[in-house]
Amino acid sequence: MHRLDDLVTIGEASKLKGVSIDTLRRWEREGKIIPHRTEGGHRRYKVADLLQINQPEKLRFTVCYGRVSTTELKDDLQRQLLVLESFCKQEGWGNIHILKDVGSGMNYRKKGLMKLVEMLQRDEIERLVITDKDRLLRFGSELIFALCELNQVQVTILNRPAEVEPEKEFVDDILSILTVFSARLYGRRSRKNLKRMQVLHDATNEILENT
């Protein structure tokens, strides 16, 4: 057990701080620590000085998250991500990490969204940048924002570009749900389920007529 006023060799200092000898030499060049010198010119580090040096901060990312509901909107997804990335560069935010999804805003298990939650749990995100909160989830985006608040993650929501049609995307989400339910009901072709399918079919037609 070392005392605070003990002087240790560069090898011992390396083990004590858990860094390489090259890192200790770099810290010396940067003026973070000035070692004592023996008559022979060898470095000796005071334990108290070593303990005062903060370890490098954990790398955290600026995450840009984009999503569209269908593959037909992939061009919009690329524009969306370009807007997000350009905004981050204008703000001088580095370590930009792109996450994206193609799928319904009502699907909680999208690959990009799950990766976002995983990074939040590992405290790897400094800020989250999106064009609109519905890009995360149609319903339930507040849960993601709550995780961000717990991890002190800054959330920036940009204005939605004028060419995006939120009503159309909402309709696409609803239709995707109706399609899933219809497929499940079709797999169980009882009389009751056929009636339910007819109700879903009528609802789908009504949505399409009013779009």
Instruction: Say which of 69, 104, 182, 190 is annotated catalytic.
Output: 69
Q: Give the span between the Cα atoms of 12 and 24, in whole angstroms.
A: 11
Q: Give the span between the Cα atoms of 168 and 151, in whole angstroms.
A: 34
Q: Give the span between the Cα atoms of 115 and 124, in whole angstroms.
A: 11
Residue 133 CB partners (closer than 8 Å, separation 6+): 141, 145, 157
**Is 69 one of the annotated active-site residues of the chain?**
yes
Residue 8 CB partners (closer than 8 Å, separation 6+): 2, 16, 44, 45, 47, 50
Catalytic residues: 69
